[in-house]
């Protein structure tokens, strides 16, 4: 939610019980610096609706930015019933094929309760359009508001300082950033890290939860090379020259592949290259052209080894990438008439 003074993050849930590993704790300094309010609206839908009505009435908001379909519906209802002067901007952040058919039908319907509707990546847009072609019902319920591609961005001051450019100078450490879910590909990451050619390469795991139980299945030699950072923001982590980020996301039999996560964008801004899943760069082809992202087949270990030995990052390209990824581009598109 945004108004002319300070913006507000409205969470349709209760306050986290463990603040130590939460976004609020990790980004506490930045939140205070930017004068951002964080407000919680727990409870059932009716309670959230009543809370949101009072909050909107007491504040002069102009825009509501949301990735929540439920928030779009609640906001749209209040906008028309109580004549709030609001622009509701919704961004879909998930591949439709990763939801059940019934859930996607609801999301397609709820998405229409917005003034502007965007989707974060080319794969999700292709997936969205494919499902509309396959289902008359989905096409019918999603016919009011056309979805438009709007690429994600990075708030650069959160990451960058005068010393934050890390020119790649040969592999020294593998980096994994993500949840301990199968599709994020930690097992694939560790399989590559175990290759004999990489026996002297360090490993950094950045995860929201403790990976100890997951790691017990691996040999001690590998475990002794691993440094774990749990529950911390990217901005709190000390990355190094020679880091290589691996993002081996898998999508099963899904036709639509998105290899560029927010973490990949953040690494590129720091000058750290990423290996991503083959055919996953459609949203960000410039990152591939500028040498900060490389598509790979995770089963072709020999080609991965060969590619890693040839990576060479040009400093000028990192500055070009920052200009492309800057979140100002994302916001300018959302706010354009």
Six token digits for residue 240: 């190094």
Residue 133 has pLDDT above 80, yes or no: yes
The superfamily (CATH) of domain 2-150 is Glycogen Phosphorylase B; (3.40.50.2000)
Residue 164 has pLDDT above 70, yes or no: no
Specify the CATH number of the domain 159-324.
3.40.50.2000
Tell me whether domains 2-150 and 159-324 share a fold.
yes
Q: What percent of the chain has pLDDT over 70?
A: 96
Six token digits for residue 245: 């980020």
Q: Where are the alpha helices (DSSP H) in 175-310?
A: 186-193, 212-215, 220-224, 262-270, 285-289, 301-310
Residue 162 has pLDDT above 60, yes or no: no
Residues 276-315 pLDDT 10s = 999 999 999 999 999 999 999 999 999 999 999 999 999 9
Cα–Cα dist 152/149, whole Å: 10
Q: What percent of the chain has pLDDT over 90?
A: 74
Cα-to-chain-centroid distance, residue 180: 15
Q: What is the pLDDT of residue 2?
A: 62
Give, in order, the Cα–Cα distances in Å from 180 to each of 9, 260, 266, 286, 316: 27, 18, 20, 29, 35
Q: What is the pLDDT of residue 250?
A: 84
Cα–Cα dist 220/217, whole Å: 9
Residue 5 has pLDDT above 70, yes or no: no
Domain map (residue ranges) of the chain: 2-150, 159-324
Residues facing residue 290 across a β-bridge = none
**DSSP-derived secondary structure letter, 59:** S
């Amino acid at each position: 939610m945004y108004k002319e003074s300070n913006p507000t993050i409205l969470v349709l849930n209760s306050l986290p019980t463990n603040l130590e590993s939460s976004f609020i704790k990790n980004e506490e300094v930045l939140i205070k610096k930017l004068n951002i309010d964080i407000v919680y609206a727990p409870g059932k839908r009716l309670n959230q609706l009543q809370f949101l009505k009072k909050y909107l009435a007491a504040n002069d908001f102009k825009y509501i930015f949301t990735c929540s379909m439920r928030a779009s519906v609640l906001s749209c209802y209040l906008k028309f019933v109580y004549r709030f002067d609001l622009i509701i901007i919704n961004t879909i952040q998930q591949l439709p094929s990763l939801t059940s058919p019934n859930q996607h039908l609801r999301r397609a319907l709820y998405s229409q309760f917005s003034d502007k509707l965007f989707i974060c990546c080319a794969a999700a847009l292709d997936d969205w359009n494919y499902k509309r072609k396959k289902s008359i019902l989905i096409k019918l319920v999603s016919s009011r508001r056309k979805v438009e591609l709007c690429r994600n961005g990075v708030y650069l001051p959160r990451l960058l300082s005068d010393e934050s450019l890390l020119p790649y100078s040969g592999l020294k450490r593998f980096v994994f950033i993500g949840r301990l879910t199968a599709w994020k590909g930690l097992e694939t990451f560790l399989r590559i890290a175990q290759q004999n050619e990489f026996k002297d390469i360090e490993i950094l795991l950045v995860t929201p939860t403790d990976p100890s139980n997951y790691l017990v299945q691996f040999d001690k030699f590998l475990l002794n090379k691993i440094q774990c950072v749990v529950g911390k923001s990217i901005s709190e982590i000390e990355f190094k020259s020679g880091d290589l980020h691996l993002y081996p996301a898998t999508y099963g039999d899904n036709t639509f592949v998105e290899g560029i996560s927010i973490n990949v964008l953040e690494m590129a801004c720091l000058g750290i290259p990423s290996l991503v899943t083959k055919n996953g760069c459609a949203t960000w082809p410039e990152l591939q052209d500028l040498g900060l992202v490389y598509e790979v087949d995770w089963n072709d270990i020999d080609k991965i080894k060969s590619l890693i030995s040839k990576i060479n990052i040009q400093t000028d390209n990192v500055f070009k990438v920052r200009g492309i990824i800057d979140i100002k581009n994302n916001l300018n598109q959302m706010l354009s008439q």
